[in-house]
């Protein structure tokens, strides 16, 4: 059975991530989207919110499952017995970091191979970071997000600007 893991922060999931997941789902019988807790990165959304957004975005995609990931990817791969890692490559700027990660993961688990997929050119310049920066300033970024993530983002910034709305 050909299986792969697509790890990331997904803070929040964008249409670029969804594009990569769709491509991976055509290549592999099963794809585990692993949402990394990544507290050191100070995410805007906690891991439960990020998992919920990813689950909504991939609902109906056959063979795609969503898990949260706390700790090393190499340990997760061994635990799941899945040794193919999917990563997205956009512009040249992704290359150096992704290359370091791929080689470090292979050092930690020699069986681990990284497969790079490139999204539709519409998403080459799309990142969670830019979506958050523009959304925070009140810009409409819904064209770049799955509907549920767009809702979560709007609510998050409404809550942050008016803390009474929380809870
Ligand atoms: P991380 O914090 O692990 O980089 P991200 O959620 O930012 O997590 O990204 C997860 C993976 O998806 C990375 O390989 C990243 O390069 C890729 N990715 C992010 N945005 C896009 C996009 N618009 N198109 C293709 N791949 C993307």
Q: What tens digit of pLDDT does each residue of 66-76 get? A: 999 999 999 99
Selected catalytic residue, list 50, 87, 90, 132: 90
Q: How much is the pLDDT for 166? A: 58
Question: How many CA atoms does the CB half-sphere of 152 hold within 13 Å?
Answer: 26
CA atoms within 13 A on the CB side of 141: 29
150-165 pLDDT, tens digit per residue, is 999 999 999 888 767 6
Q: Is 105's C-beta closer than 6 angstroms to any atom of ligand 1?
A: no
Q: 80 C-alpha to center of ligand 1: Å?
A: 21
* 70-110 confidence digits (pLDDT tens): 999 999 999 999 999 999 999 888 899 999 999 999 999 99
Distance of CA 40 to the CA centre of its chain: 16
Ligand 1 pocket member 83 (CB < 6 A) = no
Please name the helix (run of DSSP H) or strand (run of DSSP E) that holds residue 6, with its range, or none.
strand 3-8
Question: Is the pLDDT assigned to residue 167 strictly greater than 60?
Answer: no
Nearest CA to ligand 1 atom 2: 9
Q: Whose CA is nearest to atom 22 of ligand 1?
A: 16
pLDDT for the residue 160: 86
What is the Å distance from ligand 1's center to 90 Cα? 8
> Structure pTM?
0.94
Chain position carrying tokens 């997205």: 88
Return the pLDDT at 93: 81
Output the average pLDDT for the chain: 94
Name the CA dihedral angle for 9, 157, 127, 30, rounded to a multiple of 10 degrees: 40
Q: Measured between alpha carbons, how far is 13 from 41 in angstroms, rounded to an integer? A: 15
């Amino acid at each position: 059975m050909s299986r792969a893991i697509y790890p990331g922060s997904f803070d929040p999931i964008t249409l670029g991530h969804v594009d990569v997941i769709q491509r991976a789902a055509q290549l592999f019988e099963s794809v585990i989207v692993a949402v990394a807790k990544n507290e050191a990165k100070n995410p805007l959304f906690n891991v439960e919110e990020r998992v919920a957004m990813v689950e909504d975005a991939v609902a109906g995609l056959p063979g795609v499952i969503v898990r949260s990931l706390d700790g090393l990817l190499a340990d997760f791969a061994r635990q799941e017995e899945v040794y193919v890692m999917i990563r997205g490559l956009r512009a040249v700027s992704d290359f150096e970091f992704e290359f370091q990660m791929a080689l470090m993961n292979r050092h930690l688990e020699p069986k681990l191979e990284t497969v790079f997929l490139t999204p539709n050119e519409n998403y080459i310049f799309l990142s969670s970071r830019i979506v958050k920066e523009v959304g925070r300033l009140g810009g409409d970024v819904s064209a770049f997000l799955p509907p549920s993530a767009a809702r979560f983002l709007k609510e998050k910034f409404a809550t942050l600007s008016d803390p009474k709305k929380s809870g």
